[in-house]
Amino acid sequence: MAWSIAQVARMSKVTSRTLRHYDAIGLLEPAWIGGNGYRYYEREQLLKLQRILLLRDLGLGLDTVAEVLDGRHRTVDVLRNHARWLAAEQERLAKLARTVSRTIEELEGGDEVKMEELFDGFDADRQARYEAELVERYGDQAQEHIDEGKRRMKGWTKADADGFMAEWNTLRQAYAELFDAGVAADSPRALDVTDRHYRWVCRSWTPNRESYTGLGELYVDAPDFKVQFDAHAEGFAEYVRDAIAAYAAARL
């Protein structure tokens, strides 16, 4: 017995579009395709679809589901690793929830959020690695800048931190528009955007020519920063680095 794609969609509560996508990526091919171009599924495909939906309900991505179905990984091993990730994610979200609650209290007139609580739930280990790398590259001067930044941010509220990150996103967009338009990294327009970036950095610490140039190099050398920039386009991180170097040479 065979069922049309429309019948399978009704039975499984999965859209026909999703079933076609599963076919396109090789996850669930129909048993056969009729002369009218319609997909038809038999019992074997329905059982496989049932297993796909179970794994998806457990939170696994389509790539991982495909690996399980192909026998590349044992289901129990994949689920065990996924359980560990869920536990870590649960802990992270609990921290974020506590931070949001404290911020609400502060905005409603409660005590000011402490500096160490301001970014609670975010990746403190990653920030520590960046700081250590800067100190290793530039010595005690970099540590002075880091300490200065922490002193300046000590009185920040969560709203201040959110505004700081919102400005970062605005700056990245401004750089992206220049990059996409082919504007040279050392052009007046790029220098103007970089002036905004420099003033944004100065809200937390005040770099000199050397340390500001080093910050631009960090955007390329640190994988987390580079991925963030190159998600827009390959070479974008290098463009921002060059704009910062040009600004440092011309104006600092």
Q: How many CB atoms lie within 10 A of CB 191?
A: 16
pLDDT band at 101 (very low <50, low <70, confident <90, very high): low
- Encoding tokens for residue 106? 């502060």
When comparing pLDDT for 102 and 69, which is higher?
A: 69
Burial pattern 21-42, b for ≥16 Cβ within 10 A else e, equals ebbeeebbebeeeeeeeebbbe
Radius of gyration of the chain from its Cα atoms, rounded to whole angstroms: 26
> Is the pLDDT reported for residue 120 higher than 60?
no
Strands 39-41 and 32-33: antiparallel
pLDDT band at 186 (very low <50, low <70, confident <90, very high): very high
241: CB partners within 8 A, 6+ apart: 216, 217, 219, 220
> Is the pLDDT reported for residue 90 higher than 80?
no
> Is the pLDDT reported for residue 130 higher than 70?
no
Residue 203 burial (CB < 10 Å; 0-12/13-18/19+)? middle
Note the Cα 219 to chain centre separation in Å. Answer: 15
- What pLDDT, on a 0 to 100 scale, did the predictor assign at position 220? 86
Helix (H) or strand (E) run with residue 111 in it: none
The string of pLDDT tens digits covering residues 9-52 is: 999 888 888 899 999 889 899 999 998 888 999 999 998 898 88
> Is the pLDDT reported for residue 109 higher than 60?
no
CA–CA distances in Å: residue 58 to residues 8, 69, 81: 21, 15, 12
Domains in the chain and their CATH numbers? 3-69 (1.10.1660.10), 75-115 (no CATH), 123-251 (1.10.490.50)
When comparing pLDDT for 175 and 159, which is higher?
A: 175
- What pLDDT, on a 0 to 100 scale, did the predictor assign at position 140? 65
- What pLDDT, on a 0 to 100 scale, did the predictor assign at position 193? 94
The pLDDT of 169-198, averaged and rounded, is 92
